[in-house]
């Protein structure tokens, strides 16, 4: 056999950066690296973009293939606001997607323009997560920092620019800002937040290179760099998703999405009308509280995270960091329905149920928003760190009533970025590369009867909780 051709895909996520060196022909992971970065624990959620760059350098070097890579691509956490000064240095730490301090600004933007108009123009009704709301927050709370900002970037844009010197982005990640439309940047929306296009990167069509690596980075100079994309769009590429196949991702946050041919426009704000990284759409619903919230309950109960027990009447709404779906940014957690005979294992299972409930409730809306059929016989792809846990698998099976497939491939965001890099060399679409690599293969879990009793109990609790959940909004 000859020497394999190697591409590198990078996933710059909320808490760490992962890099995979992948065989272009087979999809085999030849080497991998990981490096952590810090997230603040104060009133918001912030990170220093310089740490992301250092982590990227370390993770790429750790793959062992930095000197042989023929192409690279970077995927990053969506929505984060990176502000740069005239010298290209961060003005302040980046505001991350899960920083909910911008909830008042999001509400103000929606009130000013109207949910229908936002859905029509941007495809999404903005929440605190969206970059537009974060920029509005910065102007209101740190006007001097906003005034010093000459360039606004998303996390993956910042890293791609560090690699290439090119100020570019892609349609997928740009669609999560709140100021991008299929026709390009919406100057009316930008005017409302006093941001002009001169401070934004150029949107490069899929399949084109962002540029080539500069000297002094983690790769040798001249290596082609793909445009990159947001983490959810990259995971869709990494799975080689075909239209209408639903995905549930269990990570720090929880997401449910599908690639669709139709453009989503959900005025309720539950479904984000994202573009994918190619020429389709990626309607998506997201929760802030997923695996970490359940793990926190396991710690409080002094139990292993898998030590769940069936039965009981308890309901847990684990909104420990506010919530995005439902849109309750000021929410706290709620435990309801405790009885004398409620066991710790039943309470832990209720935390799993509460975390999964919002995502599964939004699944039909995700498919409907993109014009795809809600076919419950179609397997749900279960991915993310939680997908390997039996308790998560059984919870999703029981509450969805669907067959569930658990792809064997891991680090799908980095794999999707690697597929983008490979497409620069082969001319294939990135999703076709991933299908050739058979990244979605994995065991199929047969469906079980849907547990409508638990779903109804959680739904009733949520409807009647009112100001107990989010007194600033509902009380």
pLDDT in tens, 81-99: 999 999 999 999 999 998 9
- Tell me the mean pLDDT in the region 320-330: 85
Q: What digits encode the pLDDT tens for the residues 48-63?
A: 999 999 999 999 999 9
Q: Who has greater pLDDT, 207 or 48?
A: 48
Q: What digits encode the pLDDT tens for the residues 334-352?
A: 999 999 999 999 999 999 9
Q: How far is CA 15 from the centre of its chain?
A: 13
CA atoms within 13 A on the CB side of 459: 11
Sequence-separated (6 or more) residues with CB below 8 Å from residue 204: 168, 169, 170, 210, 227
Residue among 232, 291, 229, 230 nearest 257 (CA): 232
Percent of the chain predicted with pLDDT > 90: 80
Tell me how far apart the terminal alpha carbons of the chain are, to the nearest angstrom: 68
Pairing mode of beta strands 6-12, 16-23: antiparallel
Pairing mode of beta strands 29-36, 16-23: antiparallel
In this prediction, residue 472 carries a pLDDT of: 59
In this prediction, residue 325 carries a pLDDT of: 83
Instruction: Specify the pTM.
Output: 0.89
Output 454-458 pairs: Cβ under 8 A, ≥24 positions apart.
Answer: 454/353, 454/398, 454/399, 455/357, 455/360, 455/361, 455/399, 457/313, 457/315, 457/337, 458/315, 458/317, 458/353, 458/354, 458/357
Q: What digits encode the pLDDT tens for the residues 250-269?
A: 988 899 999 998 898 888 88
Q: C-alpha distances in angstroms, 137 versus 42, 88, 94, 131, 201?
A: 16, 21, 13, 10, 21
Instruction: State the catalytic residue, choosing from 170, 173, 231, 431.
Output: 231
For residue 174, pLDDT beyond 90: yes
Q: What digits encode the pLDDT tens for the residues 358-405?
A: 899 888 888 888 777 677 788 999 998 899 999 999 999 999 999 999
User: Is residue 1 very low, low, confident or very high in pLDDT (cuts 50, 70, 90)?
Assistant: low
In this prediction, residue 475 carries a pLDDT of: 41
In this prediction, residue 282 carries a pLDDT of: 95
User: Is residue 473 very low, low, confident or very high in pLDDT (cuts 50, 70, 90)?
Assistant: low
Residue among 191, 165, 164 nearest 179 (CA): 191
Q: What are phi and psi of 171, to 5 degrees?
A: -65, -30
In this prediction, residue 471 carries a pLDDT of: 60
Q: Who has greater pLDDT, 229 or 364?
A: 229
Show the CA angle centred on residue 300, arms to residues 298 and 305, nearest 5°: 10
User: Is residue 113 very low, low, confident or very high in pLDDT (cuts 50, 70, 90)?
Assistant: very high
Alpha-carbon gap, residue 27 to 36, rounded angstroms: 25
Average pLDDT of the chain is 93
For residue 207, pLDDT beyond 90: no
With beta carbons less than 8 A apart as the criterion, state whether 236 and 258 touch: no
Is 231 annotated as catalytic? yes
């Amino acid at each position: 056999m000859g020497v394999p051709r190697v591409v590198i895909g990078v996933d710059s996520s909320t808490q760490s950066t992962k890099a995979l060196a992948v065989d272009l022909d087979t999809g085999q992971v030849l080497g991998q690296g990981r490096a952590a970065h810090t997230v603040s624990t104060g009133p918001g959620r912030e990170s220093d973009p310089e740490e992301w760059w250092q982590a990227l350098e370390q993770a790429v070097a750790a793959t062992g293939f930095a000197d042989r890579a023929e192409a690279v691509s970077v995927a990053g956490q969506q929505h984060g606001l990176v502000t740069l000064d005239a010298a290209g240095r961060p003005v302040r730490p980046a505001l991350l997607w899960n920083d909910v301090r911008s909830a008042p600004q999001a509400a103000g933007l929606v009130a000013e323009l109207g949910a229908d108009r936002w859905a029509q123009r941007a495809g999404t009704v903005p929440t605190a997560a969206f970059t537009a709301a974060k920029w509005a927050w910065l102007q209101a709370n740190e006007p001097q920092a906003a005034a010093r900002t000459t360039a606004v970037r998303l996390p993956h844009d910042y890293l791609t620019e560090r690699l290439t010197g090119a100020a570019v982005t892609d349609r997928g990640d740009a669609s999560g800002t709140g100021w991008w439309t299929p026709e390009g940047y919406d100057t009316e929306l930008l005017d409302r937040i006093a941001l002009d296009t001169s401070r934004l990167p150029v949107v490069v069509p899929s399949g084109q290179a962002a540029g080539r690596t500069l000297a002094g980075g983690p790769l040798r100079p001249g290596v082609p760099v793909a445009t990159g994309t947001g983490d959810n769009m990259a995971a869709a590429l990494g799975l080689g998703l075909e239209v209408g196949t639903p995905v549930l991702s269990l990570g720090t946050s929880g997401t449910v999405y599908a690639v669709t041919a139709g453009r989503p426009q959900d005025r309720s704000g539950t479904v984000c009308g994202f573009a994918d990284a190619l020429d389709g759409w990626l309607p998506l619903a997201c929760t802030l509280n997923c695996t970490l919230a359940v793990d926190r309950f396991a710690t409080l109960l002094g139990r292993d995270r898998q030590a769940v027990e069936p039965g009981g009447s308890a309901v847990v709404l684990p909104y420990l960091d506010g919530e995005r779906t439902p849109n309750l940014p000021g929410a706290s957690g709620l435990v309801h329905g405790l009885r004398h005979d409620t066991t710790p294992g039943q309470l832990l299972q209720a935390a799993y149920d509460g975390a999964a409930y919002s995502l599964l409730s939004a699944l039909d809306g995700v498919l409907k928003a993109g014009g795809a059929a809600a076919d419950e016989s179609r397997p749900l792809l279960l991915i993310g760190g939680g997908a390997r846990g039996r308790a998560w698998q059984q919870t999703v099976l029981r509450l969805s009533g669907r067959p569930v497939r658990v792809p064997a491939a891991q680090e799908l965001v980095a794999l999707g970025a690697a597929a983008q890099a490979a497409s620069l060399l082969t001319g294939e679409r990135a999703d076709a590369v991933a299908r050739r690599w058979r990244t979605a293969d994995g065991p199929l879990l047969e469906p079980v009867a849907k547990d409508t009793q638990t779903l109804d109990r959680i739904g009733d609790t949520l409807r009647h909780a009112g100001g107990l959940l989010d007194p600033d909004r509902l009380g």
